[in-house]
Amino acid sequence: MNKPKMTTEKGVPSNSRVLMLLGQLERLNREAMLADAEIGRQITAKILHLIQTQEKTRKEIMSKGSSGMEVILATLENTQDLQTILNILYILNELLTVGGGRRVGVFVSKGGTGILLQLVLSGSKESPPSEELMLQLHSLLAKVGPKDRKFGVKARLNGALNVTVNLLKQNLQNHKLLLPCLQVLRVYSSNSVNAVSLGKNGVLELMFKIIGPYSKKNTSLLKVSLDTLGALLKSKTNARRAVDRAHVPVLLYIYQDWHRNDTRHRHMLIRKGVLGCLKNITNIKLGRKAFIDADGMRILYNTSTECLPVRTLDPLINTSSLIMRKCFPKNRLPLPTIKSVFHHQLPHVPAGGPVAQLYNQPLGVDDVVDESDDNDDVETENDTENEEEDKDHHAMNDDIETDINKLRPKETHSRPFEELKIYERFFLELSEDFQRFNFDNPKSGVTATAAAPKSQRLIIVPTAQALPPKYPTAAPLQEECHLAKGVQPHPEASPLAPAPTPAPVHTLDTINITKDHDGCCDHSQVRPQPGLEQELVQGMERVALEGTGPQGGAGGGGGVNRHYRQPPLLAGGVAARQGGGAEETLAEEWAEEEGGEGAVLEVPDTALLLPLHDPDLYVEMVKSTRSVPQYSEVAYPDYFGHVAPTFREHILERVYGVQSPLPPYRTKIFQDIERLIHPNDILDKVVYDLDIQSCPVIDDGESLKFNSQFESGNLRKAIQVRKFEYDLVLNSDINSNHYHQWFYFEVSGMRVGAPYRFNIINCEKSNSQFNYGMQVLMYSVQEAISGRPRWVRTGTDICYYKNHFSRSSIAAGGQKGKSYYTMTFSMTFNHKDDVCYFAYHYPYTYSTLKMHLQKLEALRTPQIYMRQDVLCETLGGNSCPLLTITAMPESTSNDQICQFRNRPLVFLSARVHPGETNASWVMKGTLEFLMGSSPLAHSLREAYIFKIVPMLNPDGVVNGNHRCSLSGEDLNRQWQSPSPELHPTIYHTKSLLQYLAAIQRAPLVFCDYHGHSRKKNVFMYGCSLKETVWQTNISATSCELHEDLGYRTLPKILSQTAPAFSMASCSFVVERSKEATARVVVWREIGVQRSYTMESTLCGCDQGKYKGLQIGTRELEEMGAQFCVALLRLKRLTSPLELRNHAHLLDVESDLIETRCKVTSSSPSTYVLEDEEHSFMEEVDYSAESGDEPDIDPDTADPHDNRLSESNNHRDSLT
C-alpha cells in the first residue's frame, strides 16, 4: 500500500491533538519503525481515547480532505502487533458506528474491506485464533458488508468465507462471538454463489441447530439466524435441500410455537423471520408440496385469522397470505374448452395469428390447462415487484415509435382512385344541387337505404323465470299476453286504482303507466347558467322533450298516462294454467291480499324522458338482428329502457384488507382458502351451463336461476359453491379463446335479505377499476315496474384479484404459469320474486342503436339534412349504418349550394370494441345534440358535414363479445390492411376516408369513441411527431420536427368546457403497438392532423365537477354533446370569419381559449402518467389504450416526474 502523507482540512487547527497523533502514526509507517510495538500501541490507544471522549475528534478524522482514514488503514495493514490491531479495530468501530453510510462508504473506497478480510484469514492461522480479534473483525465486517457490492465475491476469493463457517461451527455455544459471525454470514449469503457453497458446507443444518421453539433468551441471536436462513433459502438448491431434510414441518412447528406463546407480540420480527423462510422455500414446486403435506395451509390460515384483530400484526398476515396464495393448488377452470360456446365459420382462415392457431389446433388438445402448469419460478409473481415495475416501464418506453419515416404522413395513396369511385354514392351531399328538393316538404331530401328484411321469428320479452304458485299466471299463449317471469309488484308499490277487477292478471299490455317524479330527470332543478352552458342545457332540454314523432312510442300525446300496445310474447316457457275454477280462486286470493285495490299496476311513463325509446319498436328491431346463437329473448332493461337516476353515485372508498394496498386482498384470499381447508362445505353444483345448449338452466327450486341468452348477454356457466355464493364463468369472444371481461346476465329466484356473493373467476386483465371504487350495474324489474326503470351502481366488498385458476399457455400467448383473475362482489336483494340483471357497464345493444336511429329520423326538421346508408353487411349478416348529418341550404342559389358542398367534414366512429358500451352512450349524446333544435345545434350543422359510423362492430355487440368481431380479431388493430371479407366494416370505413383524401376533402377532425377500463375521466389520445420524438433519444433537426400545434386545440377546448374531460390524462405519443389503430392510420395515411381516440372511463372522475362520482349515462351523453360544442368552438378558431353571425353563442369567457393554443406545463402531454390511485399489488397499467394489455402484472406505475418536467420544458421552449 502506498504510504499516505498526512494532510489537514482547511479550517482545522494544525495543533489539533488527534492530528498530531495521526502524524506520528504516519511517520512510523513511513520509517518502518513499527518493529517497536509499544510506540504503536501508545499512539493508537491515545487516538482511541480521544475518539471515545470527544465527538469533534471523529469529525476531524472523517472530514472531507483529511487523510486520517488512510493512515489508520495503512497502520492496520502493516502492523503485526495484536494489541495495536485491536486498538485500530476499536477505533474503526467507533468511527463507523455513527455517521451513517457516508463513513462506511469512505472506508470501503479506501480498500478497508480487503484489509479486514485479510486479517480474518491471517488471524485464523493462529492456534487458537484470538476470540477478541475475530469478534471485532466480524463486527466490523457486519457493518461494512452491506455497503460493499463485491463483498461476497471478495470473501469467497479471499478464503474468509470458510473461516467464518468454521468459526461458527466451533462456537455454537459462544453467543458473544456467534452473533457477529451470523451477521457476516447473512451478508455473505446475499451472493447466490456463496449461498450454494454455504449450503454444501452444512450451514443450513447449523442454522436449524440455532433456531428453535419459543424462548425469552437470545432473541437477537435467533432473529439474525432466521434472517441468515432466509437469505440462504433464496437459493433453489438450498430450498430443495431444506425440503429433502424435512425442515418445512420444523419451521411450521416453530412458527406455531412462537405464535402460541408470544401473546404480547413482542417478538413479531422473529415470527416474520420464520415466515420469510417459508416464503422462500415455497418458491419451488417441491417446497409448495411439502408445505401442503405438512398442513401448512390450515396452520397459517388459523394463525392469521387469530392475528386479524391486531392491526400491528398486518406484516405477519400479509406474508402468510402471500405464502398461502402461492401454495394454493392451481385449479382447472370448470370448462371443457376455453373456446367460445358459439362458433361462426369464417369465409377463410387468416394465414397467421391467434385465429389461425385456433383453427389449426389439433383435436383432443386440452386448451384449458397445460400438462404441467405448476411453474417452479414463481418469484417474479410476488417477490420481485420492483423488477416487474422496471420491466413494465422499459416495455412502455420501448413501445414508442422511433422511426421518423413512420411518424410522417404518407405522400402517396395506397389505392387507385378508380377503385375508390364506388364510394361516391355515400357522398351525395358533395354533389347535391337540390333542384328537385321541395323546401316546403318537411321530410323531402332525406334518403336512406332500405331496411333489412324483418325476421318472423318469435321474440320473447322480457327474459324472466316462471311465477311462483302464489301469484296468478299469465294469460293463454294465443292471447299473446304474458307476465314477466318471476316479477310481482310489492303491495306498497301499487298506487290506488279506480276500481278493482275480478281477475287481476298483470301483463305489460294492461299496465296503466303514470309518471313518477322520483325516477325521472327533474329539469326544473337545473340551475340556469350564463353563456354557452346555458345554451347547451336549453338545447339538450329541447332535444329531450321533442318526442312527438310519427312513432307511437315517441311522445304519447299531451297526457302523462299511456296504455301499451300488445308486445310479443312476454315470458318464454310460462305455461298458461287451464281450468277456470282454480284460476278464479287464485285471482280472488291475490285480490284480497292487495286489499281490494284493483289489479292495475302503474309504472312511469318514460316517453318524455326517453324520446328515443319505444319498447314495441325495439322488438321490431330485434326481429331483424342476427346473432350466432339465434337469440329469441329480449332482456327487460333493453325492452323497457333506462332512465338515469337523479341521485349521485359516489366512487366507493377502498375497504381495508379488501382493496387496500395490503397484498394480496387478504379477506378474499382467506375466503378462498376456506374452500381448500373445508372441502365438505363446498356444494360445487352447476346451475347454469351454456355448454349444455339443450337445457342450460338447471333448476332445483333452491338455487338462483341465471340466464344470458339475449342480445349482448355474456355468462357461460354458474356454479353454486356455497348456499349464497356462486362462481361465474364468462364466455370467450367468438372465434377466440380469451377476452373475458364483459358480462351481462339475469338472476332470479333470490331470497330477500340473503348475503349473496358472486365471483367472476376467469377475468384476464391484470387490474381493474373495481379495485378503485367502481361498482357493477344492476337493473331490478321490480324497481322498474314500481316506477324506477334504471340501472344503478351496486355491490359491496368488491375486489379484483389474481386467483388460483390456471390459465393455459394457449390462452396466454405461450406464457406458462399464468392465472386468471376474480372479480367478486356481494349483493343483498330487496324484493321478493324479483328479476335482476347485472352488467359490466350500461348495456347498449345493436337493436337499441337501430331503434334510436329510426327515432332520430322521426325527429328531423326541415332544416336538417340527414341520410342513413348501409355501409356494408357484417360477417353475421347485420347492416352497418352510416349517417350523414348537416344543415339544409336555405335555398337553391349557387352561393348556398356552394357553401353547403364545401363545408369541412367531421368523421366520427364508435363501438369498435363491444365491451366499451360507454362509447355508444357518448355517441348517443352526440347524435341527439346534432339532431336537436337548439341554436348551437343549428350552427354546428351549418359549420360541418358529419359522417358517422355509430357502431363499427355490430356482430361483436350482438353476440356479447368483449373485444373482437366474429373474425376473432380486434378490429382496431386491422386498419393498416383490413380484409374486405373478414373486416368489412373497417375496410369500407377506411375506404370512405381514402376516397375523401383522394378528392382533397380529408376530414378536419376524425374521432373514434372508446371506453377505458383502467383510468378515470374522459381524455384523448392524439398523434404528434414532436411529442413522440421528445419521449425518445432520436436526434432530429428542427425542420424535421416542424408541426402545427393545432392537434392540441380540440382537447384543450374540451378540458375547459366538458366537466368530465381531463387534459392531464391526454397523450399525443405514437406507439408501435398502436400503429394499426384507427387514430394512427387516419393520421398517417389519410393525413388528418386532428385524429383522435376519445376514451371515456368505465368508473368515474377524480377531477372537476364530477370528482368522486361514478360516471353514468347522463354524464356520458353530456360528453357527447360537449364534444359537439367543442367542434363549434374549433370552427371559430380555425376560421373566425365563418361564424361571425353566431359569435354571440360562443363568447363564454373570451379569454378561455386563445387563438394560438399554447402548450403549458399545466396541461402536459403525459405518456407515462402520474398514478391516479394508491399503489397496490397489481397496479393499473395507465399506458394501455382502450384497456389494451400485454398482461404483465405491474406493481406501480412510475410517474417519472423529472423526465416529464424536462420534456414539458423542452416542448415549451420549442413552441
Cell of 39: 510506540
**C-alpha–C-alpha distance, residues 245 and 232, integer Å:** 15
In this prediction, residues 403-410 reach a mean pLDDT of: 68
**C-alpha–C-alpha distance, residues 948 and 953, integer Å:** 14
**Of the ranges 372-381, 744-753, 764-773, which is most confident?**
744-753
Q: Would strands 776-780 and 755-763 be described as parallel, antiparallel, or unpaired? A: unpaired
In sequence order, which ranges of 360-467 are alpha helices (DSSP H)? 379-382, 385-398, 417-420
In this prediction, residues 153-174 reach a mean pLDDT of: 89
Tell me what pLDDT residue 434 has: 80
Lowest mean pLDDT among 815-829, 998-1012, 1183-1197: 1183-1197
In sequence order, which ranges of 726-839 are alpha helices (DSSP H)? 781-785
CB atoms within 10 A of CB 1161: 11
Residue 461 has pLDDT above 80, yes or no: no
Residue 413 has pLDDT above 60, yes or no: yes
Tell me what pLDDT residue 1041 has: 63
What string of DSSP letters covers 564-603? PPP-S-SSTT-PPP--HHHHHHHHHHHHHHTTT--S--EE
Q: How confident is the model at residue 1176 (pLDDT cuts 50, 70, 90)?
A: very low
Tell me what pLDDT residue 458 has: 67
Instruction: Tell me: cis bond preceding 664? Omega within 30 of 0 counts.
Output: yes
In sequence order, which ranges of 860-1007 are alpha helices (DSSP H)? 894-901, 917-930, 935-943, 954-958, 984-998
What string of DSSP letters covers 1080-1147? HHIIIII--SEEEEEEEESSBBSSGGGBTBB--HHHHHHHHHHHHHHHHHHHHHH-TTTTGGGGGGT-
Tell me the pLDDT tens digit for each residue of 997-1013: 999 999 999 999 999 99
Active site residue 725: no
Q: 349: burial class by Cβ within 10 Å (0-12, 13-18, 19+)?
A: middle
Q: How confident is the model at residue 630 (pLDDT cuts 50, 70, 90)?
A: very high
Residue 633 has pLDDT above 90, yes or no: yes
Lowest mean pLDDT among 61-75, 298-312, 517-531: 517-531
pTM for the full predicted model: 0.77
Tell me what pLDDT residue 623 has: 94
**C-alpha–C-alpha distance, residues 191 and 207, integer Å:** 18
Residue 953 has pLDDT above 90, yes or no: yes
Residue 1082 has pLDDT above 80, yes or no: yes
**C-alpha–C-alpha distance, residues 187 and 194, integer Å:** 10
Instruction: Tell me: cis bond preceding 843? Omega within 30 of 0 counts.
Output: no
CB atoms within 10 A of CB 95: 21
- CA-nearest of 657, 633, 678 to 482 is 633
Please count the CA atoms within 13 angstroms of the CA of 186 that sit on its side-chain side.
24
Tell me what pLDDT residue 605 has: 62
In sequence order, the β-bridge partners of residue 1094 are: 1009, 1020
3-state SS track over 1138-1185: CCHHHHHHCCCCCCCCCCCCCCCCCCCCCCCCCCCCCCCCCCCCCCCH
Q: How confident is the model at residue 289 (pLDDT cuts 50, 70, 90)?
A: very high
In this prediction, residues 812-823 reach a mean pLDDT of: 86
- CA-nearest of 944, 803, 795, 854 to 328 is 803
Phi, psi at 685, each rounded to 5°: -110, 120
Residue 54 — left, alpha, or beta (φ > 0 → left; ψ -120 to 50 → alpha)? beta
In sequence order, the β-bridge partners of residue 793 are: 777
Q: Please say whether the beta carbons of 790 and 643 come within 8 A.
A: yes
Q: What share of the chain in percent tops pLDDT 90?
A: 49
CA dist list (Å): 381 to 664, 766, 770, 1197: 11, 12, 21, 16
What one-letter code names the amino acid at 996?
L
Tell me what pLDDT residue 1126 has: 97
Which carries the bigger pLDDT value, residue 585 or residue 105? Answer: 105
Tell me what pLDDT residue 550 has: 34
Q: Please say whether the beta carbons of 1081 and 1035 come within 8 A.
A: no
Tell me what pLDDT residue 438 has: 66
Residue 246 has pLDDT above 90, yes or no: yes
Q: How confident is the model at residue 24 (pLDDT cuts 50, 70, 90)?
A: confident
Tell me the pLDDT tens digit for each residue of 871-929: 999 999 999 999 999 999 988 889 999 999 999 999 999 999 999 999 999 999 999 99
Q: Would strands 1005-1012 and 905-910 be described as parallel, antiparallel, or unpaired? A: parallel
3-state SS track over 489-515: CCHHHCCCCCCCCCCCCCCHHHCEECC
Q: What is the DSSP letter of 404?
A: G
Q: How confident is the model at residue 1039 (pLDDT cuts 50, 70, 90)?
A: low
Q: Please say whether the beta carbons of 161 and 197 come within 8 A.
A: yes
Tell me the pLDDT tens digit for each residue of 509-564: 333 323 333 433 333 333 333 443 344 334 333 333 233 333 333 333 333 333 33
17 three-class SS: helix
Q: Please say whether the beta carbons of 141 and 107 come within 8 A.
A: no
In this prediction, residues 937-963 reach a mean pLDDT of: 97
Say which of 26, 389, 602, 1095 is annotated catalytic: 1095
Tell me what pLDDT residue 376 has: 52
Q: What share of the chain in percent tops pLDDT 70?
A: 73
**C-alpha–C-alpha distance, residues 355 and 339, integer Å:** 11
Cell of 351: 394465414
Which carries the bigger pLDDT value, residue 529 or residue 178? Answer: 178
Q: What is the mean pLDDT of the chain?
A: 78
Angle at which helix 203-210 crosses helix 192-200, to 10 degrees, equals 80
Q: What is the DSSP letter of 714?
A: B
Tell me what pLDDT residue 212 has: 84
Tell me the pLDDT tens digit for each residue of 272-282: 999 999 999 99
Residue 371 has pLDDT above 70, yes or no: no
Q: Would strands 1005-1012 and 1090-1097 be described as parallel, antiparallel, or unpaired? A: parallel
**C-alpha–C-alpha distance, residues 392 and 380, integer Å:** 13
Which carries the bigger pLDDT value, residue 393 or residue 193? Answer: 193
What torsion, rounded to 10 degrees, do the Cα atoms 134, 140, 141, 146 define?
160
Tell me what pLDDT residue 606 has: 66
Q: How confident is the model at residue 485 (pLDDT cuts 50, 70, 90)?
A: very low
Q: How confident is the model at residue 1079 (pLDDT cuts 50, 70, 90)?
A: very high
Lowest mean pLDDT among 638-652, 703-717, 1149-1163: 1149-1163
Q: Residues in the chain, how many?
A: 1215
- CA-nearest of 990, 935, 986, 950 to 866 is 950
Which carries the bigger pLDDT value, residue 190 or residue 1141? Answer: 190
- The helices-and-strands tally (H runs, E runs) of the chain is 41, 21
Residue 1191 has pLDDT above 80, yes or no: no
Burial 563-595 (b: 16+ CB within 10 A, else e): ebeebbbbbbebeeeeeeeebeebbeebbeebe
CA dist list (Å): 759 to 301, 661, 682, 744, 822: 21, 21, 14, 14, 6
**C-alpha–C-alpha distance, residues 841 and 1061, integer Å:** 19
Residue 857 has pLDDT above 90, yes or no: yes
Residue 503 has pLDDT above 80, yes or no: no
In this prediction, residues 670-681 reach a mean pLDDT of: 88
